[in-house]
A and B are shown apart, each in its own frame.
Chain A
């Protein structure tokens, strides 16, 4: 019974709640929004237990929507999307709770948009109809645009429109590619439908046009990931967005790009994606992301920008793992996606919290505050270590799996990528040292107050996840494995026939 309504409820509930919250007075809005997002989380939690690892696509719902074009409301969850849905519902209450003191104007609108955004994000992860996917992909753009543009920092207008136009540009070309796929599948079978299963079964005979279509999908997803050199929107958007916006951007929105590669770009165009040229390009771009992201992070004076660039590096690992296409590397990539959401989300929360007290994000404005705010310092240390991928934290498991898995496919590239872990240690530990250790030189920092219970409530769930995945990742890996295996089997070509048999 639960399986029949859960995804619809997850999509409809935040949308309705969001529309109600917008109309509420500001004082009430944050409580109602928090309650709504907690209910959303509660609805999603049983997914964890009722999900059958070997069950393929589950909780599916299929309902005609615009029958004239074969557009259906088709949703479902498998081992790839399950964790992304759970990550979304998990981060939303924290984001709302974490914004209570940060957002001081037009609160009702802010919380309403966060809830509407939830619908869009979950919609992207569960859609199994390309039309629905496209609509959701675009729909989540508007709330984020407003969140950056209305509640962001000083340079927010520029960041907001840059974010919007980059994403819009990529997605519109994808729209044309979706249409071409739809017509191709329709002509081949006589049935015109946007259903994922229908289209993926007909992509075999695309011919050379597949290159163009892959390019369109690639652009849309690579902008979102973001792959170097399409990443320039990310530092602006992350830095200008309010804390909750940065958390969601890093935690969930970036994952839409990598999810898109896993769900659409690879299964639709396996021949193109695994051709030597494309492999080379993607691996090189991922490596540039890892190294360049890390090096740029190293010289950032602004802590938030440092975290933003570290995202570019982390997502480089994900792309490497996806393209290596071994079981470990894909599982590792999925895990890094989750880990990055948790660790980087926590880092953004922490930076936001200290910014609220001191109104500066510059690393040099701090120093020695471990003595003043010990709890904050302790949590920042744990989270930073997890982001560096120290053994015992979640980051280690994910990046280790990616590196092990990728080594078999791309030994040299993996060796280069390993240095990315060292660079991460270099920039985060240096920043950590300069913020919380070193001597306390600035008098303003002596009056800082430590974390409030509300802030602790935001951070504790994240710390628990960091340690849980770090120490006992089996429940996660177990649920991912069949989906990852199925994906690899679907994409990887059968081993080529033995050469030398002469002309048939």
Chain B
């Protein structure tokens, strides 16, 4: 299906998933304005959100199935497989977040259905970011997403730490947006356009990049660095992740990060493919993020803070994929982000079940003996931890493996070696969780009595575990999807020299 963005109908079609979700957001807003008192209203709003996300996923599927693509004049909206796969990840992250929010909101007495509206707006922002083929559209999506998430982070307004998290996130986020916007302005000044394709075309003709362009590029990287929480721009992440309500933390760690990475990929490969200097910057960023994230996480006793730092470390792994680049790097990013979304959300889901009303500080040692009392829950968390560690048989391994292939196939053997060495370090903080659950005795008889997932959260956790194991053993379909998506991004920009991996048994 060929879409011409000059025609209004085609433009609307290419924005169909965003429009569907926006429509639902408005419906939900009306509903919320009408009923926002009881627990029941909250549940209805949650179910409506799930329906909204499902219908959006179907809209994305429809466009994917019809091979929608934007051709003709240079467009502000991209319609390629990369966008569809990224959109699915965002929608899945949002849906899983909704599933684990039901009990949490009721337990913490956050009876405000606006929560779900904000969640939907955040998701729309992410989708716009992944769709943006123009720096302005990307910025628009980024702000839409960020504003919604700022509010979500401070949603538990009666708790000081939640408010602190929101304020911190807002101030630093606004700062980062400033950097990004200034970077866009400088790039516009240097090239006369904000369209990614046009920038890429210009830069491939004028061989020598100007100082203004380089300054703009640096600012863009700083702006994105904040959003993906790469070291040294990660300072906000632990406090914000720790203070925000747990489901929101899960959403931030997965969806927000995935969206920022998706935009980063598109900007770097479609606009700046001809300016190889950013490879070096990202190389160093990846290295210090992997080392820093893993070392900081090693010292954490609180499970939530540990997961926050571990998400910094994982941003480092994904940066390896960005640095490696090419079709392999892009596909590796998509596979990894699918795996990471699943395992991270699973871990946060179990964490939110363990936290009691009011005190959400769960120490790793508080999980002692969980396996004896709640074997399935412990099993689920163990699978998530092993997957985060990158253990074979889980999706986390497949993702890491793909990133390693992408890195070694572009000659980045040192980066690959650092990745695996820091992964060894990560065993030092993922394994104690398993150790506490299985190998330490229960502190008291009643320590885990009230740890329970409701029906919805149980669905989420079961989906996550099955997904992790399925992709860990049989990732073939996921690879096909990611490969096609990787190809689609690079078809637009200049092609980079990366060997295509061909299959064969070589006997």
Chain A interface (Cβ within 8 Å of chain B)?
62, 64, 66-70, 72, 106, 134-135, 138-139, 142, 145-146, 149-150, 156-157, 160-161, 164-165, 168-169, 172-173, 175-176, 179-180, 183, 185-187, 189-193, 195, 197-199
Report B306 CB to chain A, min CB distance, Å.
16
B435 touches A157 (CB 8 A): yes
B420 in contact with A189 (CB, 8 Å): no
Beta-carbon contact of A173 and B476 below 8 Å: no
Q: Is there contact, CB below 8 Å, between A160 and B435?
A: yes
Beyond contacts A138-B391, A139-B393, A191-B504: 12 other A-B pairs, Cβ-Cβ < 8 A, are: A68-B483, A69-B501, A142-B386, A161-B428, A165-B431, A175-B401, A179-B405, A179-B416, A180-B413, A191-B502, A195-B506, A195-B507
The distance in angstroms between the C-alpha atoms of A142 and B438, with both chains bound, is 12
Q: Is the CB of B392 within 8 A of A66?
A: no
A187 touches B499 (CB 8 A): yes
A183 to B324, CA, bound (A): 15
Given A149-B439, A180-B408: A161 touches B503 (CB 8 Å cut-off) = no
Contact A172 B420 (CB under 8 A): yes
**Known interface pairs A69-B405, A161-B435. Does A173 touch B504 (Cβ–Cβ under 8 Å)?**
no
Q: Using Cβ atoms and an 8 Å threshold, which residues of chain A touch B476?
A: 66-68
The interface residues of chain B, by DSSP majority, are classed as helix
Interface residues of B in 29-53 (CB under 8 A from A): none
**Residues 398 to 438 of chain B near chain A (Cβ within 8 Å):** 401, 404-405, 408-409, 413, 416-417, 420-421, 423-424, 427-428, 431-432, 435, 438
Q: Kindly state the separation between the CA atoms of A195 and B423 in the bound complex, as whole angstroms.
A: 26
- 23 CB contacts below 8 A, A to B, read A66-B476, A67-B476, A68-B479, A68-B480, A68-B501, A69-B501, A135-B393, A150-B438, A157-B435, A161-B427, A165-B427, A168-B427, A172-B423, A176-B404, A179-B404, A179-B405, A179-B408, A180-B408, A185-B506, A189-B506, A192-B504, A193-B504, A198-B507
Does residue B475 face the partner (Cβ distance < 8 Å to A)? yes
**Beta-carbon contact of B505 and A64 below 8 Å:** yes
The B474-507 residues at the A interface (CB cut-off 8 A) are 475-476, 479-480, 483, 499, 501-507
Q: Which residues of B are found within 8 Å of A62, using beta-carbon distances?
A: 505, 507
Instruction: Please report the C-alpha to C-alpha distance between residue A62 and residue B439 in the assembled complex, in whole angstroms.
Output: 39
Partner of B424 from the list A106, A135, A150, A168 (CB cut-off 8 Å) is A168
Q: Which residues of B contact A146 (CB under 8 A)?
A: 438
Query: Separation in Å of the A70 CB from the closest CB of chain B?
Result: 5
- Are A157 and B423 closer than 8 Å at their CB atoms? no
Task: Take A195-B505, A198-B505 as given contacts and tell me if A164 and B392 are in contact as well, using a CB distance cutoff of 8 Å.
Answer: no
- Chain A residues with Cβ below 8 Å from B431 are 145, 161, 164-165
Which residue of chain B has its CB nearest to the CB of A197?
Answer: B507
Who on chain B is nearest to A151 by CB? B439
The minimal Cβ–Cβ distance linking B96 to chain A, given in whole angstroms, is 26
How many B residues touch A, CB cutoff 8 Å?
38
Given A134-B392, A165-B428: A70 touches B421 (CB 8 Å cut-off): no
Instruction: Specify which chain B residues have a CB less than 8 angstroms from the CB of A176 in the assembled complex.
Output: 404, 408, 413, 416-417, 420
Residues from chain B with a CB closer than 8 A to the CB of A66 are: 475-476, 479
Give chain B nearest CB distance to A400 CB in angstroms: 39
A160 to B423, CA, bound (A): 18
On chain A, the residues within 8 Å of B423 by CB distance are 172
Q: Across the interface, name the chain A residue whose C-beta is closest to B422.
A: A172
Q: How far in angstroms is the closest Cβ of chain B from A213?
A: 10
Distance in angstroms between the alpha carbons of A138 and B505 in the assembled complex: 23
Bound Cα distance A149, B404 (Å): 31
- Which of chain B's residues have a CB closer than 8 A to the CB of A165? 424, 427-428, 431
Q: Considering the chains assembled together, what is the distance between the CA atoms of A414 and B431 in angstroms? A: 43
Q: Which 3 A-B pairs have the closest CB atoms?
A: A198-B506, A193-B506, A191-B504
B residues in contact with A199, CB < 8 Å:
506
Chain A residue contacts of B438, Cβ below 8 A: 146, 149-150
B439 lies within 8 A of A197 (CB)? no
Q: How many angstroms between the C-alpha atoms of A192 and B417 in the bound complex? A: 21
Given contacts A150-B438, A168-B424, contact A69 B503 (CB under 8 A): yes
Do A150 and B417 touch (CB < 8 A)?
no
Complex Cα spacing A142 to B394, Å: 13
Counting chain A CB atoms within 10 Å of each CB, the highest count among B386, B408, B435, B505 belongs to B505
Distance to closest chain A CB from B501 (angstroms): 5
A16 to chain B, nearest CB (A): 14
| B506 adjacent to A197 (CB under 8 Å) | yes
Task: Name which residue of chain A comes closest to B502, CB basis.
Answer: A192
Q: Mark B464-477, 1 if CB is under 8 A from A, else 0.
A: 00000000000110
Evaluate contact between A156 and B505: CB separation under 8 angstroms: no
Interface string of B310-337 (1 = CB under 8 A from A): 0000000000000000000000000000
Question: Looking at the complex, which one of B392, B409, B501, B506 makes contact with A135 (CB distance below 8 Å)?
Answer: B392
Please name all residues of chain B whose beta carbon is closer than 8 Å to the beta carbon of A189 when the two chains form the complex. 506
Beta-carbon contacts under 8 Å, B347-388 to A: 372, 386
What is the CA–CA distance of A189 and B435 in the complex, to the nearest angstrom? Answer: 46
Determine which of A172, A185, A186, A195 lies in contact with B421 in the assembled complex, contact meaning CB atoms within 8 Å: A172
Residues of B within 8 A of A193 (CB): 503-506
B398 (CB) vs chain A CBs: closest residue:
A66
Contacts of A157 in B (CB 8 A): 435, 439-440
With contacts A66-B479, A176-B413, A192-B504 taken as known, whether A142 is within 8 angstroms of B439 at the C-beta atoms is: no
In the assembled complex, the CB of B385 is this many whole angstroms from the nearest CB of chain A, namely 11
> With A138-B391, A139-B393, A191-B504 known to touch, is A175 a contact of B408 (CB < 8 Å)?
no
A150 touches B439 (CB 8 A): yes
| A175 CA to B392 CA, complexed, in Å | 11
With a cutoff of 8 Å between Cβ atoms, the chain B residues found around residue A168 in the complex are: 424, 427
* Docked-complex contact B420 and A173, CB < 8 angstroms: yes
Interface centre among B386, B439, B475, B501 (most CB of A within 10 A): B439
Report whether A169 and B424 are in contact in the complex, using a CB–CB cutoff of 8 Å: yes
Q: Which residue of A lies closest to B420 (CB)?
A: A172
A61 to B388, CA, bound (A): 32
